[in-house]
Structure 1
Amino acid sequence: MPLTPDTFLQKLSPEILGSLSEEQLTAIREMLAEALPKSSPKLVDIRWRIN
């Protein structure tokens, strides 16, 4: 399962999650998205054999 901001928000208790405003949830989602690792291009090893 990929890590997303909502993955972390689902771990909050329903009481805490319900007490947050939409503005607060948006700010938390943006912060988590920034903090989560992002996939990056991988190096490709191309080896040429010269005869």
Structure 2
Amino acid sequence: MWVITIHSKNGIKMFEFTTEKEAREKFAVIEGCKILSEVIYFNDKQLIET
């Protein structure tokens, strides 16, 4: 999952995207103070069970 976070004087807004391509296309046209992040979920049952 990809997330764009936008900081403005009105507050913080976050937008989620499924693909990197989709997120980067939108990131290019958004104005203002912005951050593009990739969210990685790590679920490995082998490391949880001992």
Q: Shorter-chain TM-score category?
A: 0.3 to 0.5
More relative contact order, 1 or 2 (CA 8 Å, 6+ apart): 1
The structure with the greater share of residues assigned to strand is: 2
Structure 1 or 2, whichever has the larger Rg, is 1
TM-score by length of 2: 0.32
TM-score by length of 1: 0.32
